[in-house]
A and B are shown apart, each in its own frame.
Chain A
Amino acid sequence: MTERHRLRSVLTLAYLNGIVPMRTQPLFLVSVLASPLSFLFFVTIASHGLYLKYAVTGGMLFTMLSIGTSLQTDLTHYRTDLKLQDMVVASPVEGPVYVTGLALSELLYSLPGLAVFAALWATGGPALGATGTYAWPVNLPNALTIGFTLVIVWGFASALGFTLATYFEDVREIFLFSSLISLGLTVFPPVYYPLSALPAWAQTIAYFSPTTYAAQLLHATTSAAATPVGSLAADWGVLIAFTVGLLFLAAAKARWREP
């Protein structure tokens, strides 16, 4: 395959797994939004609006992370139940092309959900009833920071989903583990609330989760108090290192031809 063929292949996979299912089952789009929005709702109510500024970007992060779970589910389902992966292996389509195409399809699928959070963010708070210290600045640098962070999280979540998919034989196992993983990646780490809301010992544990760093970067755009000055660069570094590490792990784990 030449680069042009690869690109066509990636886009075709993204279209067939990301756009086509929207048409046949639009309700799925609502279900993509259900969890991240309900978290936002609870956190905002429980904090009397104080944490809304964290939860808005937290919802975006949550949505991106769930891409990993969807990718993992689809990869396993297509490999074990449909034997689609066997068809793809015995074709010109290479492994990285297949995985990238599907990861992109999950992103497309999440775009409507992300758009809802982006719209919430763009109101800057007042439209949601948040004023004064509850509101956040809406500007281009912040929008770019959010965009870049989410793209890295997409790569991170996809690499994680792919790596996990190589371990599971059965879609049912995934449902079991994905809830544990999303607990470890999204509920416990400070995605919907500031890191400072955790007791000191829990903050230490949270630093082992890459989502903490992504959340720090996102929260810094809506709350000046979210991040201690000077650690933003470190957050970028750690998040990117995690992602690159996982991508390497995914590449090393990839079993395209069975031994």
Chain B
Amino acid sequence: MTEGVTKQYPKNVGRPPALDGVSLSIRPGGIYGLIGPNGAGKTTIIRICSTQLLPTAGTVTILGHDAIADPRSVRTRIAVIPQESRPLYFLNVDELVYLYLKMRGMDRAESRRRTNAVLEELGLVEERKRLVSRLSGGMRRRAMVAMVLASDAEVLFLDEPTTGLDPLARREVWGAIRRTIRDHRTVILTTHYLDEAEQLASRIALLDRGKVLLEGTADDLRARVRRPYRVTVDSRVPRTELERYGDVTDVDGGHLVFTRESDARELALKALGAGARVSMGPVSLEDVFLQVVGRPIDDGTTGEEAA
């Protein structure tokens, strides 16, 4: 869908580009996750693909239409929830969805039918007459998901739909998003919660500093790292003994070792023999990020600051 997309914001000339030759091929259907730390370029690529922003170079094709030369054909087929967007507070939940559909040009009967269906589906029927300004954060996001979900758009772009929500509310929104996978619809979602990407997305692209570092299913991503197993042992086992098995990082009350599968088993048995507490398993996407990028995804710095 995108080919060599580069973006240099006019305001930032002289600094590294926000996107540097991003090529992604996203097959229709299912949820596609774009992950990466703050400043990686997730929002920039979403805004370019959804015809809100022009790239400096590269091509973007959405459902066979050129998003740069022919944005109109793309716009009739997409819907987006921008990062940090908020619904119009003086509407109630029902109006929010219904009027969004009518604004997109849908007729009254169809808008009504789809609004009723989506409120039912996302469990918002009891809230339909409540003003969106009175809803909790999670409920408000769900209402926004309902808007785009009820539309006839074939590609939905959701930019950080759960950022700032508590874990329970995040799960509510996940449920809503999961229901959007049907009718060959494609959802492109960005997040910096890697567990979320893993939960929701069938394929994932890992972005950092404007470049795609890895692309594939969560398992593909794991398989691409040199040491796809993680073993944590408590501090009864000295660090020096661990180092020959792989990369060791100190964590609370012990050590974290990234290693290969065979070494993981050997290390675990040995540590158990020494009476230490051990846990092992495949690496998480956080670990993948740490290994590929060399810093944790949530270390508080943006790609820009670290650069």
Contacts and interface: CB of A to CB of B under 8 A. Distances in A.
Nearest to B53: A258
Given A25-B90, A83-B82, A259-B10, A12 B102 contact: yes
Contact of A90 (B79, B86, B99, B102): B79
A87 B91 contact: no
Nearest to B151: A91
A192 B284 CA distance: 71
Given A8-B105, A9-B105, A16-B91, 14 more contacts: A9-B103, A16-B95, A21-B90, A24-B90, A82-B86, A86-B47, A87-B82, A89-B75, A90-B75, A90-B157, A91-B79, A91-B103, A93-B105, A257-B53
Interface of B is mostly: loop
B252 interface: no
A258 B46 CA distance: 13
A258 B105 contact: no
Given A90-B78, A91-B78, A24 B52 contact: no
A90 B50 contact: yes
Interface in A16-58: 16, 20-21, 24-25
A82 B157 contact: no
B90 A89 contact: no
Contact of B75 (A8, A83, A92): A92
Contacts of A197: none
A257 B81 CA distance: 16
Interface in B75-121: 75-76, 78-88, 90-91, 95, 99, 102-105, 107
Interface of A: 1, 5-6, 8-9, 12-13, 15-16, 20-21, 24-25, 78, 81-84, 86-94, 101, 257-259
A86 B52 contact: yes
A15 B90 CA distance: 12
Nearest to A7: B105
B71 interface: yes
Given A8-B105, A8-B107, A91 B85 contact: no
Contact of B104 (A16, A93, A101): A93
Given A20-B95, A90-B75, A91-B75, A258 B88 contact: no
A94 B103 CA distance: 11
20 contacts: A1-B76, A9-B103, A9-B105, A16-B95, A20-B91, A20-B95, A87-B80, A87-B81, A87-B82, A89-B75, A90-B51, A90-B80, A91-B75, A91-B80, A91-B104, A91-B153, A92-B75, A93-B103, A93-B105, A258-B53
A237 B151 CA distance: 45
Interface residues of B, number: 35
A12 B82 contact: no
A92 B104 contact: yes
B185 to A, nearest CB: 15
A229 to B, nearest CB: 49
Contacts of B19: none
A29 to B, nearest CB: 14
Contacts of A8: 102, 105, 107
Contacts of A12: 99, 102-103
B139 interface: no
B122 interface: no
B131 interface: yes
B234 to A, nearest CB: 47
A257 B47 CA distance: 9
B54 interface: yes
A16 B132 CA distance: 14
A11 to B, nearest CB: 8
Contact of B52 (A84, A92, A93, A258): A258
The 3 closest A-B pairs by CB, nearest first: A5-B105, A83-B85, A90-B50
